[in-house]
Structure 1
Amino acid sequence: MLTLLVLAVLGAGAAYLLLWPVPITPRAWQAPVDAGYSGPHAANTGLAGVHRIGLGGADGPEHIAIGPDGLPYAAVHDGRILRLDPAGGLPQEVAVTGGRVLGFAFDQTGRIIAADALRGLVAISPDGVVSPLLTQIGPGDPLIYPNSVIIAAEGTVYFTASSTRFDPARWGGTFNASLLDILEQSATGRVLAYSPADGRVRVVARGLSFANGIALSADGTRLLVAETGRYRIWSIDPKAQAVDVSTLPPEGDASARVLLEDLPGYPDNLMRGRDGRTWVGLTKARSPVIDHLSALPELRAVILRLPRSLWPVPRPYGHVFAFDPDGRVTADLQDPAGATPDTSGVTESGDRLYLQSLTADFVGWRPAP
């Protein structure tokens, strides 16, 4: 009898791990070999001991931009945008969107154009009034998971929409939705162009596994886009028309090509710095387990049936680096201790680098290299 009971329990457990419904339909892909912390990304402690600016009880300064007044502004987890005091004083509340801003930029009139993962593309006036700009791409095509924003000199707003599958408003927030999208690997992320003059939207590129950070190249002729789920950064023609990057040959073409690949972590925000360089933050180091499961989609579904404590989440590791227009790494700064966790990017201003983070309760800064 005891043997039968044990077998029944084991059978029920196996059935749960194999058959219990999960929200993802995983796709097979082949993760590139992880070179680890070597070459231009050799391990270092360039982010150790950074200076800190408190957020007055807020956390998650996911994105930082420099305003027309020359001061840094940060989007934090509770939906606010804060004006920071570089001297370390308490921040000032500028606006509350009621959602979660992941990226924003200032236009030529001083308005903030923000990608709010819960509310869509919004505009924020200099006096803090929040107005919706875009919630639909087209008929039957809602704007889901807007993430990062850049504004071209002529006014076009380029932004990423990370997923058409997992809406943070429905799936427990941005972290849960991003995890589901990257585990599924259905690659539904897009790059879009919005014209404030007439409200028109154009799909620039699609087929990205969690489209994330976006920046313009130094000469303004290319869009740089982080594909978080596949550890790479693309160079894309801003004039492209719905190019499907998942169908391109390995070398790409004139519309889109991979600029950096096989990165040692998950790339997030992209920010232009001085001297033609672009900064990127790696929010997490790569997981050998997740890489191994890239070609085993069924086992990725099993992960979601395990207790969250058993999920293969990499340990905290701070890491940002800069690259030139040709994709050569020109600076690499790391914090192996993870004191500055989940580094989502870098904002360079004057002689400082301000560190963006998904979870920190401060903004770290250090002198620019």
Structure 2
Amino acid sequence: MAELTGLDQEVREAQERFDAGMGADGDASPYPLLRELRAQAPVHPGWPEMGMVGNSGDGPPTFTAYTFDTVKAVFTDNITFSTRCYEAVVRPLQGPTILEMQEPEHALYRKLHEFAFARSSMRRWDAELVGPLVDRTVSRLREAKRADLVDTVFSPIPVRVIAALLGLPEADIPAFHRLAIDLLGFRADMDRALRASAEMKEYFVEILADKRRSPRDDMVSILAQAEVNGVKMSDEQIIGFMRNLLPAGAETTARSTASLAFGLLTHPDQLDAVRNDRSLLPQAIEEGIRWETPLLNFMREVTRDTVLGGVQIPAGATMMVNLGSANHDETRWEDPESFNIFRERKSHIGFGHGAHVCLGMHLARLESTKMFNALFDQLPNLRLDPDAPAPYISGMLFRSPPRLDVVWD
């Protein structure tokens, strides 16, 4: 295998900083605490963070929804539970995005964004981009007979897919992988995140100007020309989309695929079942996202007095929703803490729900499908490395295994 370049090493160091800042402390898990909280009530004051429940007492009161039904109710009612709170949190880092938009503006701009994720484009990406990229990446591993799949497959592929969809030159990808991680790690180091944001914007201004002059077959060119009811996206909005997609789309897909691989590799009977019958892969992907949701918490602003889960929530409060807890709700799934691709199929809430449901979920599923088919096809008898330390899943906000050491025949 080729030696790491300096930029690749910078990406690894950025990821380590990010994980440390997000409370990734060994194999510590939030799920025992979340199970206790769900058993007590569906909604609690405060929020779960770093293994404890807290509320600073500064600013508006905070509440957290923990059950499937209450989390879904928050996502469903985007009038009472508004995303406008993200204007103060996200806009300084990413510029204006549809995440913070309200109706009817949000519905209009979501249609504009959907041009970038059209089904015709997805089919083309499958054949021309994602499939070939995944196959090349995995085939380079074949002769090595051992690897850390997080480092060699699950972390690099999603960011390369996003970068290609945005039309970024391949030589620039490692630098932007690092910037994406630094941007997403704003909770741990806001100054570093703001520097990353400024650097990305400066670069994306030139990329967008180039696409407007010479449109190509990529997302930025499509968005630059998209129009709904006479409305087009401004340069600021397109650059906001670019700064949002690179960290969000790449980071969550990298984590969800790594966690699914962990689930399969630590359950060899299920691994063999999927390897021998690829029609089981879609349900395995959904179970992986349910079992280890890559990003546990989202937030909303409460716009009017309401009641949720029997709790009075005042207007102006911050409403946190814990997707990880919702996806482990015992009233919806039997033995929810267990990884089981054969369980009764019920929809999870790992991609959110309602008007703000994840735009990139079909792309994420496509990438996962391609990655696991390539691993099964090209790395015979793929299994955990018996000579490496046992893998584990880490994180209190973002969750995934830091590494997955494997061998094959």
Q: Which has the higher contact order (CA 8 A, sep 6+)?
A: 2
Fold similarity call, TM over 0.5: no
Q: What TM-score, normalized to structure 2?
A: 0.27
More strand by share: 1
